[in-house]
Structure 1
Amino acid sequence: MAVLVFFLAHWFLSLFCQTFFLHRYASHKMFSMNRFWERFFYAFTVLVQGSSFLNPRAYAIMHRMHHAYSDTEKDPHSPHFFKDVWQMTMQTKEIYVNYVNNKVEPEKAFRGNYPEWKWLDKLSNYWSVRIGFGVLYFLFYLQFATSWWMFLLLPIHFFMGPIHGAIVNWCGHKYGYSNYDNNDHSKNSLPLDFLLMGELFQNNHHKSPNSINFAKKWFEFDPTYPVILLLNKLHIIKLKRH
């Protein structure tokens, strides 16, 4: 039971940080927050993503590229130019690493207006730190796993962030239904996106990139949306008026 709780907590907390902080805040600035809360969620993202922490600057640049060049050859992770999800993920990783290490200068349109915390980015990107998180995951399983097959879940913990991204980028542009013609292959993979907390409403999101609620039809539900409304009500964030 402890392993299952730990796995689900890691899955959904990591996913929440990706959709709330990296996607809706860092990439789109759908809402604002003061410096304290920005640093809080920045550090929280490092903590819960752990070994697979995704740099907010690099994430934002690539996501903005994805919107600008959706499902074209300049899209950093369109599934329609790769034979399988592994090949797409490796290409995405190469582009991501170049931005993290400042080896490539992004186009002007994709720069700026994203959170940066240079010393924490540097610290979290050390292999020793990433491996350290992995060791902690292993030790937890060593203590609480009740069967050998549970250890097969460990690789998911190690690569949680990229796994979430791969599912969204592959499934969200190949499988599902479309509410809108966006001149790309974006799909809504699940009408009730309990699996990825709204990230699989890719067709809706590409239609309205700055809409805080990824669900658009009466039968759709974006689990992150009510959480954002609560954070706004608590004055932790401030929603923008459109």
Structure 2
Amino acid sequence: MAVILTFFITHWFLSLFFHTFFLHRFASHQMYTTSKGWERFFYLSTWFTQGSSYLVPRAYGVMHRMHHEYSDTEKDPHSPHFFKDVWGMMMHTRNIYNSFVTRKNMPDEKFTQKYLPVWEKLDRFGDNMVVRLFFIIAYTMVYVIYAPNAWWFLLLPIHFLMGPVQGAIVNWCGHKYGYANYSNDDHSKNSEPWGIFLLGELFQNNHHKEGENPNFARKWFELDPTFHVMKLMNFIGIIKFKKA
């Protein structure tokens, strides 16, 4: 049981960290700059930690910029206020995301004017179904070897869809439940006051107020763990915060 819990928690938080740190705060918002070498390291780490649920940074960045531009309107790629349940929202989001990955749908130029990280070879490799299947088999083997009983296998779908699951929680809960520090002309909420389980991502109301601010926390009781890791990385020179 200890091995399974450790594996699940490690996978959850490593995947989530690179989701918020690289896909969200870098690819989407360019909250910091970094060297090309470090960018490639973060890019590779995002692929490895997301594994079977890898999200292409270019497509993610474009879609998230649209989310801020059209927050909680019919043009929002993932507002929960136009769907009966979270699964309907996830399918809608997946279709838009896939159209950007394959370039069947080209976004408005205003969403691509700001820098988007691109590593075509890694994206083709990471987005390959055989590679995704390899990760699925690897996750499953951990459970086959270490799970004390069959009930633990119910966690496997979360491993398989880790990135989209985390995104769905943030977009569904962060625009439906919680409190608001600001009036943003949308439904964004702060759903998790302590910011631990989603590493600051559920301070959606704060984030939609100041989309370029790397610190998603505002009140004294709010904590954005990712920002504090970023502060350390900025201090030692791995990244450099952009001036507001």
TM-score tier, shorter chain, comes to over 0.9
Partner in structure 2 of residue 226 of structure 1: 228
In the TM superposition, 1:34-113 aligns within 5 A as 34-112=35-113, 113=115
- Whether 1:3 aligns to 2:4 is yes
| Of 83-92 and 108-117, the range deviating more from structure 2 | 108-117
d(CA) in 2 for partners of 1:21, 1:125: 17
Counterpart among 210, 228, 238 of residue 240 in structure 2 = 238
CA RMSD of aligned residues (A): 0.7
Counterpart among 131, 140, 143 of residue 141 in structure 1 = 143
Could you tell me how far 1:199 is from its partner in structure 2?
A: 0.5
d(CA) in 1 for partners of 2:77, 2:173: 15
d(CA) in 2 for partners of 1:25, 1:200: 17
Could you tell me how far 1:102 is from its partner in structure 2?
A: 0.6
Counterpart among 166, 169, 178 of residue 168 in structure 2 = 166
d(CA) in 2 for partners of 1:111, 1:240: 19
Identical amino acids, percent of aligned pairs: 59
d(CA) in 1 for partners of 2:78, 2:144: 36
Per the normalisation by structure 2, the TM-score is 0.98
Q: Which ranges in structure 2 are unaligned for 5 or more consecutive residues? A: none
Count matched residues. Answer: 242
Give CA-to-partner distance per residue, 1:74-123, whole Å, 9 cap, x none: 00000001111000000000000000011001101101411000011001
Secondary structure of 2:156's aligned partner? helix
Could you tell me how far 1:194 is from its partner in structure 2?
A: 0.9
Secondary structure of 1:73's aligned partner? coil
Could you tell me how far 1:193 is from its partner in structure 2?
A: 1.2
d(CA) in 1 for partners of 2:110, 2:227: 27
Partner in structure 1 of residue 25 of structure 2: 24
Runs of 4+ in 1 over 4 A off after TM superposition: none
Could you tell me how far 1:219 is from its partner in structure 2?
A: 1.4
